[in-house]
Amino acid sequence: MQGRVAVITGASSGIGAATARLLAAEGAAVALLARRAERLEALALELEEYGAKVVAIQADVTDPAAVAAAGEQVASELGRVDLLVNNAGVMLLSPFEADLVDEWERMIDVNFTAVLHTTRVFLPALRDGGGDVVNISSVAGRVVFERSAVYNGTKHAVGAWSEALRKELAGTGVRVGLIEPGVVATELTTHFSHDETKAVYAERYDGVERLEASDVADAVLFMVSRPPRAAINEILLRPSAQKP
Amino acid sequence: MNLDLSGRVAVITGASSGIGAATARRLAEHGAAVVLLARRGDRIQSLQQELADAGHSALAIEADVTDAASLNRAVVGARELGRVDLLVNNAGVMLLSRFDEAHVAEWKQMIDVNVTGVLLTTNAFLDDLTDGGGDIVNISSVAGRMTAPNTSVYNATKWGVVGWSDALRQELIAKDVRVGLIEPGAVETELAGHITSEVARQRFHERFDGMAILQAGDIADAVLYMASRPPHAAVNEILVRPAKQP
């Protein structure tokens, strides 16, 4: 990863932070995007102590103007982009008939629309010299669950969009890959507002040792460190004990 | 990222060439003892010698994955290196043709090797694998995910592997055996050289001639990555194509 510049969204915690740590440890310069500035600054300081080049950018990926400004800042401070990790996402599970319309819209905005805008901003820089777009989707992009209708919808959308983009960009030097993790020990599951679903979810994965964020970071590293001829299009990974 | 396989014993089918041979080399380089299975005894014996000369533990056993008796002999032979805890079901054939060409013998051969052979091999080594846990890595194909003309029966065999593999994955969770699928696109191996249908061979060449396609070592890297994950993490599926293959 020496000499490569990686942009990571949702970098303040979980998979995003773990990916930033791993790519920086492997020699990449990293641009960290997230809303929570304090967390970003703390992570940037930690990585700089190890000698990594880091740019922390407070940005809400659902705000196209903020993402565009982040693109300009990355261009001016790091000069290039070789790798975009679309990681920011939310999982607000509930039965469809609970009518949590605000949460549906939030998931569509963060999990799908923001991925389009972020990719649009960084794609010209990626095409200029080649690179990788890594989209962090979910098992929910492959397997459908109760109480997950809209989350499933957003992750299926990411999967379909990602695959079409991969085909459009095949041969341009830009590889597009999808990573679909099962249950990971992150904040993702703590944001449900629907209490009954919280309990059902906890019961569904009771006794399952969850993936660590670093397991997903390893998948990102494996994907992006392939030689130019080889494109890892998709990695599906679950806790060893997770069935569906 | 830790890619160490020290102490593991891996069985690789179709180890005489291509992805199988590359995987044997890669796993051995990372510390695994490797058992090489194939029909072509001379080929796997020379690979065994090559690996032994490099200081690795390797054993060549002539076996046909469509012949249960030869697999049972391989199970007994493999135990010389220890309990098998990693099985790479790699042996496969791709005899593409238009369906209406009615290459019935080739259909049967693909079903025998690509599906029945995988079931028989897994069945043979299952006692070893479940006696303490391990990994089964099934080498399928992009053809297990999408269809194309001239590929109907090959598609069917790879679809079969995908369905069986994911059901087995769920069944073997209780036995600490992880079951994963690797689905490569076009790889530089002997595979396409065996196509007898003129129309299918021509289309294959039109699609891939001049393209920088995958090397067998690229798939070996995926097997290594899959098998070396910590016990709580299972890489269920890796889809890999040449970067230029749409």
- Do the domain assignments include residue A242? no
- Do the domain assignments include residue A227? yes
B110 pLDDT band (50/70/90 cuts)? very high
Tens digits of residue pLDDT in B28-87: 999 999 999 999 999 999 999 999 999 999 999 999 999 999 999 999 999 999 999 999
DSSP type of residue B152: H
Contact call for residues B17 and B43 (beta carbons, < 8 A): yes
Average pLDDT over residues B206-219: 96
Tens digits of residue pLDDT in B133-156: 999 999 999 999 999 999 999 999
A190 pLDDT band (50/70/90 cuts)? confident
DSSP-derived 3-state class of residue B130: helix
Range of the domain at A167: 5-237
Average pLDDT over residues A191-214: 94
Task: Say whether pLDDT at B93 is over 90.
Answer: yes
ipTM above 0.85, yes or no: yes
Task: Say whether pLDDT at A189 is over 90.
Answer: no
A28 pLDDT band (50/70/90 cuts)? very high
Q: Two tokens at B165? A: 């593999």
Task: Say whether pLDDT at A140 is over 90.
Answer: yes
Q: How far is B61 from chain A (nearest CA, A)?
A: 31
B123: Cβ contacts below 8 Å, ≥ 6 apart: B68
Would the CB atoms of B244 and A210 count as touching at under 8 Å?
A: no
Sign of the CA dihedral with A181 first, then A187, A189, and A192 last: negative
Task: Report the alpha-carbon distance of residue B164 to residue B167 in Å, rounded.
Answer: 5
Q: Tell me what pLDDT residue A16 has.
A: 98
Q: How far is B246 from chain A (nearest CA, A)?
A: 5
Task: Say whether pLDDT at A143 is over 90.
Answer: yes
Average pLDDT over residues B105-109: 98
Q: Which residue of A has its CA nearest to B181?
A: A236
Task: Say whether pLDDT at A187 is over 90.
Answer: no
- Do the domain assignments include residue A129? yes
**What is each CA distance from A109 to A87, A88, A121, A181, in whole angstroms?**
13, 11, 16, 20
When CB atoms are compared, the residue of A22, A231, A240 closest to B241 is: A231
Percentage of residues in chain A with pLDDT exceeding 90?
Answer: 98
Average pLDDT over residues A187-195: 90
Q: Tell me what pLDDT residue B143 has.
A: 98
When CB atoms are compared, the residue of B232, B236, B242 closest to A230 is: B242
B29 φ, ψ to 5°? -60, -30
Q: How far is B54 from chain A (nearest CA, A)?
A: 25
In whole numbers, what is the pLDDT of chain A averaged over residues? Answer: 97
Q: How many residues does chain A have?
A: 244
Catalytic-labelled residue, pool B107, B125, B154, B208: B154
Tens digits of residue pLDDT in A85-101: 999 999 999 999 999 99
B50: Cβ contacts below 8 Å, ≥ 6 apart: none
Task: Say whether pLDDT at B213 is over 90.
Answer: yes
Q: Tell me what pLDDT residue A14 has.
A: 97
Contacts 24+ apart (CB under 8 A), B142-149: B142/B183, B142/B184, B142/B185, B142/B239, B142/B241, B143/B94, B144/B181, B144/B183, B145/B183, B145/B239, B149/B98, B149/B203
Q: Tell me what pLDDT residue B3 has.
A: 98
- Do the domain assignments include residue A158? yes
> Does A234 touch chain B if contact means CB atoms closer than 8 Å?
yes
Looking up residue A197, the CATH number of its domain turns out to be 3.40.50.720
Q: Tell me what pLDDT residue A223 has.
A: 98
Q: Dump strand ranges (E) for B19-139.
A: 33-38, 58-62, 86-89, 134-139
- Do the domain assignments include residue A244? no
E strand or H helix at B9, and its extent? strand B9-13
Q: Based on the structure, what is the number of domains in chain A?
A: 1
Task: Report the alpha-carbon distance of residue B19 to residue B93 in Å, rounded.
Answer: 12
Task: Report the alpha-carbon distance of residue B227 to residue B65 in Å, rounded.
Answer: 22
Put simply, the chain B residues between 147 and 206 with a CB less than 8 A from any chain A CB are 170, 173, 176, 178
Q: Which of B1, B236, B16, B68 is nearest to B137 (CA)?
A: B236
Q: 10 Å Cβ neighbour count for B104?
A: 9
- Do the domain assignments include residue A156? yes
- Do the domain assignments include residue A243? no
Contact call for residues A196 and A23 (beta carbons, < 8 A): no
Task: Report the alpha-carbon distance of residue B164 to residue A7 in Å, rounded.
Answer: 38
* Domains, chain B, with CATH or none: 9-240 (3.40.50.720)
Average pLDDT over residues A64-71: 98
Task: Report the alpha-carbon distance of residue B141 to residue B146 in Å, rounded.
Answer: 9
Average pLDDT over residues A156-173: 98
Q: How many residues does chain B have?
A: 246
DSSP type of residue A212: P
Q: Which residues of A touch B230 (CB under 8 A)?
A: 215
Contact call for residues B132 and B82 (beta carbons, < 8 A): no
Task: Report the alpha-carbon distance of residue A111 to residue A155 in Å, rounded.
Answer: 7
Q: Which residues of B touch A236 (CB under 8 A)?
A: 235-238
For residue B154, indicate whether it is catalytic. yes
In whole numbers, what is the pLDDT of chain B averaged over residues? Answer: 98
Of A64-78, A196-210, B128-142, the poorest mean pLDDT is in: A196-210
A32: Cβ contacts below 8 Å, ≥ 6 apart: A8, A11, A12, A16, A20, A40, A43, A44, A54, A55, A56, A57
Q: Tell me what pLDDT residue A19 has.
A: 98
Q: What DSSP line would sit under A96-160, residue for residue?
A: GGG--HHHHHHHIIIIIIHHHHHHHHHHHHHHTT-EEEEEE--GGGTS--TT-HHHHHHHHHHHH
A188 pLDDT band (50/70/90 cuts)? confident
> Does A160 touch chain B if contact means CB atoms closer than 8 Å?
no
